[in-house]
Amino acid sequence: MRQEQTAVGERPASGVPTPLIEARGVTRILPGIVPTTLVHDIDLKIAHNEFVAVTGPSGSGKSSLLYLLGLLDMPTEGEVRIRGKATVHMSEEERAFTRLSELGFVFQFHFLLPEFSSLDNIVLPMRALGRLSRAEMRERAAGLLDSLDLADHRHKRPDQLSGGQRQRVAVARALANDPPVILADEPTGSLDSKSSEQVFQVLRDLVDQNAKTIVAVTHDIDLAERMDRRVHLMDGGIASDD
């Protein structure tokens, strides 16, 4: 799971590393008879090799912010930059390519395709990106499963796996294209305490051993306190950034 680092953390002329992800004045308003502000005037920089918890009460904008950072939604005002590159004027095709190549996603519910094996679920994003041959994709998928102690579950469908195993397959799928950033929305929220700890340790190791950057929305304050940085939201804005 070693990542390529040629462009990660590269330094512009000022000598300050370019953030992997940066939100500049990001606001998201849902239109309607009564418009709803999801997040308001967010400024946030996520650097290389950070483990960031995003916390806050329900309705504070945590998931909305994550979706904006991951280009799954677009801001009403402001912009999100990936490796210093503005995304607001990208075509949908360009945004899709950026998501596939630069970002990996893990959600509270695994969203594995039920008719596919673990290995084939991991191959899907690689096939969409189109960089590897079929044999290379399957070899990489098998290696990711092996690294997450799932070697014996390559050919099992999601309904043949435990909750923790399914979530680890989802992590492997997020790593399929070797992105520098993993965005996780309540990745342990649907798991029991033992499975939750296993998944957390996988994420911790990705930061410590593989130099990944992880931004994770969580309600679990104990887990948040074990991450390296905590961004706390209130009413759609950043209340604190420790």
Domain extent listing, the chain:
49-63+92-241
Burial status of residue 188 (CB atoms within 10 A of its CB: 0-12, 13-18, 19 or more): buried
Radius of gyration of the chain (CA): 18
Q: Rounded mean pLDDT of 122-131?
A: 94
The CA distance from 120 to 50, in Å, is 30
- 3 secondary structure, DSSP code: P
Q: What CATH number should be reported for the domain whose range is 49-63+92-241? A: 3.40.50.300
pLDDT digits (tens, 9 = 90+) for 42-88: 999 999 999 999 999 999 999 999 999 999 999 999 999 999 999 98
Res 32: pLDDT: 86
DSSP three-state, residue 215:
strand
In degrees and rounded to multiples of 5, residue 138 shows phi and psi of -70, -35
Res 103: pLDDT: 95
Res 188: pLDDT: 84
Q: Rounded mean pLDDT of 152-177?
A: 92
* Structure tokens, 23: 């939100």
DSSP three-state, residue 118:
helix
* Structure tokens, 50: 């950070």
- Give 107's pLDDT tier (boundaries 50, 70, 90): confident
Average pLDDT, the chain: 89
Per the CB < 8 A criterion, the answer to whether 18 and 12 are in contact is: yes
Counting residues of the chain whose pLDDT is more than 70, the rounded percentage is 94
Residue 118 confidence (pLDDT) above 70? yes
Res 12: pLDDT: 53
Res 139: pLDDT: 95
- Global confidence as pTM: 0.88
Residue 10 confidence (pLDDT) above 80? no
Res 11: pLDDT: 52
- Give 194's pLDDT tier (boundaries 50, 70, 90): confident
DSSP three-state, residue 101:
helix
Q: Identify any residues that bridge with 44 across adjacent strands, giving them in sequence order.
A: 23
